[in-house]
Structure 1
């Protein structure tokens, strides 16, 4: 896009705001420590290295454009149609145990409110982490989703014995806690879903549709 349209974007007379949605994966592995927007990126896979390149190109465009360019580094996205409740319900969920591993997450509604807050107060060349308040082990999210659904959680599987696609395995290369202080202090954002528990409870209350497998049997079985 930038290769073909950077000139048009930079000279657009009515454009006031540009946002690029990136990933907290650009920070790489912090061995469970905290990172913020001042932490130097250290991506561990090719996908995240491409993200850094894209961020830099957008920020370079912002230096010569009339409109402000902002970068938003998103944590693990969940929301309607994409969440642990559905994974548990359709039998796809697994509790993969890698000691000390933590992830941040972010609900789609909170992504939207961060973007709207930024549109209302553009800040040239600013980077924002868009993440929840509580980084936690991925297996805890699955356990809580199963609890909400009233079913037994899937068995624990040690990381070194778990089958995963190469892309899924790359997510476990990054172990960090992501600070969201800047979106709170600079944009005045109060998260609707500060932890996965509020987010999953809301989705459950909304009645996320439980998939029915092709054989017609219920996807959820209580032991």
Structure 2
């Protein structure tokens, strides 16, 4: 049987994995609510599928399943509508990946967390993720792996994009620190897990260099030859409720498990190395 990945909610991180697997000869199917994405998906070697869909039919012949669809107030929307279908497909699936967030750990005032740290989310979004992780992990016989992603960035998404659009802010909040994950490293962690499945395992996906957000903006601005935006106290910063909620958590995330158990060597171990590499790639 040909390896076939069905990616539910085929977005920024999943597309990087899809491109890599398609290049290796996999069949990759990606769902989206936007028909205008179909041409982009096909250019990446991915078969587009409009969501919602007949999931039972979509799972025919699928060996690997990845879901990036966020939970809502009622839990995981995929399982709410399709739990019986997924349970019946469990014996045929070799690997299932659920993309979660390091927000499940809550606020640690800049301290370190690992996969064994308690999940005490400070935000509604984090609490929903904890519940959704549990829903997926409790399905009997389903080879689920949970990936808790730190702040995601990559080409077209991150400090360069914000600076060029003129929307970057150098927000200052005492003891605020974030961990980050480049999409290429997210993809290689997922691929490494596919190669070494360990159902029920949870992995933090992040780089080695947690840092205050204002330092990342400053460094990116210097690389672009731009003046960094002025410092703005957190209390005075103009932010969406979603963006502001990220500042309710401050922590450093350990990533030893992806290295020790999956054999991953990060392509972008620090945000500085990643930003330099991204700029070099842009310039050819």
Q: Please, what TM-score do these two structures have when normalized by structure 2?
A: 0.70
Residue deviations 1:32-71, cap 9 Å, x none?
A: 110000001001111111111100000001xx12x42110
RMSD (Å) for aligned C-alpha atoms: 1.4
Look up the match of 2:105: 27
Distance in 2 (alpha carbons) for counterparts of 1:130 and 1:200: 18
Distance in 2 (alpha carbons) for counterparts of 1:147 and 1:49: 37
Instruction: Decide which moves more: 107-116 or 152-161.
Output: 152-161
Match of 1:153 among 228, 231, 234: 228
Aligned residues: 206
Look up the match of 2:83: 6
User: Is it true that 1:68 corresponds to 2:146 in the alignment?
Assistant: no
Instruction: Decide which moves more: 174-183 or 85-94.
Output: 85-94
Look up the match of 1:214: none
Match of 2:203 among 128, 133, 137: 128
Distance in 2 (alpha carbons) for counterparts of 1:174 and 1:202: 28
Deviation at 1:166, TM superposition (A): 1.6
User: Is it true that 1:15 corresponds to 2:90 in the alignment?
Assistant: no
User: Is it true that 1:114 corresponds to 2:189 in the alignment?
Assistant: yes
Distance in 1 (alpha carbons) for counterparts of 2:174 and 2:251: 13
Distance in 2 (alpha carbons) for counterparts of 1:122 and 1:3: 26
Residue deviations 1:83-133, cap 9 Å, x none?
A: 111111121111001121100000000000000000011111111000110
Question: What secondary structure, in the 3-state scheme, does the structure 1 residue paired with 2:282 have?
Answer: coil
Gaps of 5+ in 2: 1-77
Gaps of 5+ in 1: 209-223
Deviation at 1:10, TM superposition (A): 2.6
Look up the match of 2:167: 92
Distance in 2 (alpha carbons) for counterparts of 1:3 and 1:93: 38
Residue deviations 1:145-188, cap 9 Å, x none?
A: 11111111111111122122221111111000000010011101
